[in-house]
Chains A and B, each alone.
Chain A
């Protein structure tokens, strides 16, 4: 609970921004859905066939899983807010249309005929009879749609549209319950609040008027604000994105500070926790973003199309990655930072001292007393434990468990060896130490800014600024910064700025 409050306090600004994005996206989608569905329902209610056909189509749209709908839209409209808005609108249309259509179709035929017999125009019949009678049911359609849209909007984070889903994604990724609670809880609260507002609106004409005026003013303000953003961004905007987690967040904040200091004409927009590797890589190639930090090991193992043996020498690995990226995808890969963020095996410091453990080859003599907790992926991969076992002649007991649990297991003494990434904040948190990979078994993972070739040619100033980080930041530095952000809940921008100032880069 206190952890949740700490997280909330430290990241209030970001959380509020996500909440705002979520609300804006949901309301835009709901408004669009209403504007489409209500008139459509009214138009088709008195037809024989067309209304039923549309009724069926909307039902079918409803059966497509929302995530699939989002994914299907990416090839057509790209990533970000646009596909999210389209998908949410398509989703929200169904209950509103179906309720409007059914309500109008099921009106008392005697009343309809009376209206005709009095010579009422189509419009007057609609406004004085049909809509008022159908209104409660249309409203219930809108409120179903509202609940669905706010819930489904959490998935928008997966395609870079931001919102509360960002925290749910982060929470799953990092096994962080605070994030999960913030994301899911706020989205539920938002649903409740908006449903209550809708109920209040529908309770009387006067209330409806108040809320409608209030929302219109709000929408106009948001529009002016967004328009203003658009205006400001006419300067020169560079979009930098990062993968999920604290480390990419810290790095892109450093990029922003460095670039904006040297290039006052450039405005940097950050998209933190933007998505997974292939998502960012595609976003970069399709010009949705301009720069993101990527690891040499990831390029060679995952992104390069031509399979190549990964060199164990970090410098060679970088050169190869750079060459392949330039050749296959016309991308420029700037010089990497110093630290490695690859696999490693860690033990408690006290344990290391007791058994004089410094490097991986020291483990061999202690096979009998070792029990390891490994991430299931690491335990089952050739470039993980299976290969490592052969390279170092290891044979000890292992247990596989979720990444976050293995650190708790070693902290509580249930195991005495774990795998991990070399910059994980838990290393500092639980007083662990990594053993040196003296036979250079693990592929090197060094981070460096990745961008399109045309971008790097057009922005030599940006390239120059980013190169200031080359060879900087040690593993201990990065561990410390990750610790500050993900354990101590400092803001990534503050931590990034402090590092740059301390090392005279700003």
Chain B
């Protein structure tokens, strides 16, 4: 568990962060989102003490990070910076296990671990182990950087705009990879981004930050449905589904359960509206369950949503 207690940061008379109180639970994928210069990266860097707060303290599992041995603290954390920051002079394998090397793990064991981790991030271990970072594409380098962050099996991984430098297709792939790994490892991830789409896609919970103040903390639904203020609402405006969420639709009385069978599966309302109707009925599957709604009811529902 990570706790920020009254954390502040100021240079001379310039306030970077002010009175931050925040708790991030174990096993959570927590996204800090905000425009550039909002202080979100500074907040992240306080966890591994790349930056020290000028007021308040950060606690991990009830202990102040300030009181912990710096090397021990950092060795037990994964870190994925914006650019992959792979050491160009080391092989991919040595890059992945640099923290294990520091921790004194034997070479053979390190190679096995590196190979396993590379497989996990979708690069063939045997093939990539002895390559140089310069031989990899940007997306591959970022995968290696993720493997590197996982090497020491940390309970906590810090990610600072890790996918921002990638093109949209690659970014999407990396996001999926991250979600899958997070699902599998049940580790705590603190992810910083300026991209609210990315925040919504990744975050179990999201913290919205602007001008050094934490404006709102909540799940993606909470933030979209009940933005705390105009800025948050405006920031996520384009992210709010035009046709409402599936949860809302299913909550309406017009939808009835049927046998799932081989119905077309949908994830969003806008996928649903593209389905062909069978004699005025639209049938679909959502999260394994079958539903149907008449075209007229769907039209009426959408019309009401517009108001």
Chain A residues proximal to chain B, CB less than 8 Å:
110-111, 113-121, 124, 128-129, 132-133
B72 at the interface (CB under 8 A from A): yes
Q: With both chains docked as a complex, state the minimum distance between the C-beta of B44 and any C-beta of chain A, in angstroms.
A: 11
Chain B positions within 8 Å of A119 at CB level: 70-77, 99, 102
Q: Name which of A111, A114, A118, A128 has the most chain B CB atoms within 10 A of its CB.
A: A118
Q: Which residue of A lies closest to B94 (CB)?
A: A128
B98 at the interface (CB under 8 A from A): yes
Q: With both chains docked as a complex, state the minimum distance between the C-beta of B72 and any C-beta of chain A, in angstroms.
A: 7
B222 at the interface (CB under 8 A from A): no
Given contacts A128-B90, A129-B89, A133-B88, contact A117 B48 (CB under 8 A): yes
Whether B98 lies near A117 (C-beta < 8 A) is: no
Whether A110 lies near B98 (C-beta < 8 A) is: no
Chain B positions within 8 Å of A116 at CB level: 50, 74
B83 at the interface (CB under 8 A from A): yes
Chain B interface: which size bin?
20 to 34
20 contacts between A and B (CB under 8 A): A110-B85, A111-B85, A113-B81, A113-B85, A114-B81, A116-B74, A117-B74, A117-B77, A117-B158, A118-B79, A118-B102, A119-B72, A119-B73, A119-B76, A120-B99, A124-B102, A128-B90, A128-B98, A129-B87, A129-B89
Chain B residues proximal to chain A, CB less than 8 Å:
48, 50, 70-77, 79, 81, 83, 85, 87-90, 94, 98-99, 101-102, 148, 158
Complex CA–CA separation, A128 to B101 (angstroms): 10
Q: Which residue of A lies closest to B82 (CB)?
A: A110
Complex CA–CA separation, A117 to B98 (angstroms): 12
Chain B positions within 8 Å of A132 at CB level: 89-90
Q: Name which of A113, A114, A121, A129 has the most chain B CB atoms within 10 A of its CB.
A: A114
Chain B positions within 8 Å of A115 at CB level: 87
Whether A121 lies near B89 (C-beta < 8 A) is: no
Q: Which residue of A lies closest to B70 (CB)?
A: A119
Whether B81 lies near A117 (C-beta < 8 A) is: yes
Chain B positions within 8 Å of A120 at CB level: 98-99, 102
Complex CA–CA separation, A342 to B263 (angstroms): 123
Given contacts A117-B74, A118-B98, A121-B71, contact A110 B81 (CB under 8 A): yes
Whether A114 lies near B79 (C-beta < 8 A) is: yes
Q: With both chains docked as a complex, state the minimum distance between the C-beta of A111 and any C-beta of chain B, in angstroms.
A: 6
Chain A positions within 8 Å of B73 at CB level: 119
Chain A positions within 8 Å of B85 at CB level: 110-111, 113-114
Q: With both chains docked as a complex, state the minimum distance between the C-beta of A77 and any C-beta of chain B, in angstroms.
A: 42
Q: With both chains docked as a complex, state the minimum distance between the C-beta of A45 and any C-beta of chain B, in angstroms.
A: 17
